[in-house]
C-alpha cells in the first residue's frame, strides 16, 4: 500500500491553522480566532501523525504552545498570551539550536538529514547557526508587531509578513546547502563552489 501523501498535504497542515486563525479573527475577533487556531492546530497535528506515523518535532512543540497559550488566552480572556506565544516559541527554538551548537551538536541534522542527505558537517553547523539567528529575529519582530500595532494588524502580519519571510529565508539557504553537499558522483572531488 502506497502511503505517500499528496505533496500539498504537508504545507496545508503547516499553513492551514494560520490561515484559519486569520479568517476567524477577521470575522469574529481574536478570541474566536484563537479557539479556531487551537482546533485547526490539533487537527493538523492529527493529520500529520496519520500520514507519517510520527509527530514532527517542531510542529509538535508549536502545537503544545498553541494549546497552552491559546487556552490561557481564552480562560483569562486576555489576548496577551496568544501574542507572546510566537516570541517564546522562536526564542525556545533559537536556544535549542544555539545550545546544541555550543555543545558541538548541530541539532538540525537529526531533524532534516532525510531531507538534506549528504550535507557536510560544516554545512549543518552553518545552517543551524543561521536558523538560530533567524528565530531570534522572528522573536524580535513579533515583539515589535504586537506591542506597536493593532491586534488585527498583528494577525495579518503573521500570515502576510512572517510566513513569506520564513519562506524567503528558507529559499535563501539553498546556495549554502549546494556549497556543502558531498557530491555522490565518483570522482567529483569537491563540495561545490
Percent of the chain exceeding pLDDT 90 equals 70
Assess contact for 164 and 145: CB atoms under 8 A. Answer: no
For the stretch 151-177, pLDDT in tens is: 999 999 999 999 999 999 999 999 999
Cα 123 to Cα 137: distance, rounded to the nearest angstrom:
21
- Three-class SS state of 85: helix
Q: Where are the domains of the chain?
A: 1-77, 79-182
Cα 72 to Cα 83: distance, rounded to the nearest angstrom:
11
| H or E element that contains 69 | helix 57-76
Model confidence at 53, in pLDDT bands (50, 70, 90)? confident
For the stretch 74-83, pLDDT in tens is: 999 999 999 9
| H or E element that contains 155 | helix 151-157
According to the model, what pLDDT value does residue 47 have? 87
Q: Provide the whole-model pTM.
A: 0.83
Beta-carbon contacts of 129 under 8 Å, excluding residues fewer than 6 positions away, are: 97, 98, 101
Q: What is the mean pLDDT of the chain?
A: 88
Phi-psi region of 168 (alpha: psi -120 to 50; beta: other; left: phi over 0): alpha
Grid cell locating 15: 499553513
Amino acid at each position: 500500500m502506497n502511503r505517500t501523501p499528496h505533496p500539498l498535504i504537508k504545507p496545508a497542515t503547516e499553513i492551514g491553522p494560520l490561515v484559519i486563525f486569520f479568517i476567524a479573527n477577521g470575522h469574529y475577533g481574536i478570541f474566536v480566532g484563537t479557539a479556531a487556531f487551537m482546533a485547526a492546530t490539533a487537527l493538523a497535528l492529527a493529520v500529520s501523525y496519520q500520514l507519517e506515523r510520527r509527530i514532527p518535532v517542531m510542529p509538535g512543540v508549536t502545537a503544545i504552545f498553541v494549546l497552552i497559550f491559546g487556552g490561557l488566552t481564552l480562560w483569562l480572556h486576555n489576548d496577551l498570551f496568544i501574542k507572546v506565544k510566537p516570541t517564546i516559541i522562536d526564542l525556545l527554538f533559537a536556544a535549542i539550536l544555539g545550545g546544541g551548537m555550543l555543545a558541538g551538536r548541530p541539532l538540525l541534522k537529526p531533524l532534516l538529514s532525510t531531507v538534506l542527505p549528504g550535507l557536510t558537517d560544516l554545512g549543518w553547523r552553518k545552517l543551524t547557526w543561521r536558523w538560530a539567528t533567524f528565530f531570534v529575529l522572528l522573536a524580535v519582530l513579533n515583539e515589535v508587531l504586537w506591542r506597536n500595532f493593532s491586534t488585527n494588524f498583528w494577525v495579518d502580519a503573521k500570515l502576510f509578513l512572517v510566513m513569506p519571510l520564513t519562506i524567503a529565508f528558507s529559499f535563501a539557504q539553498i546556495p549554502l546547502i549546494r556549497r556543502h553537499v558531498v557530491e555522490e558522483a565518483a570522482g567529483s572531488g569537491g563540495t561545490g563552489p
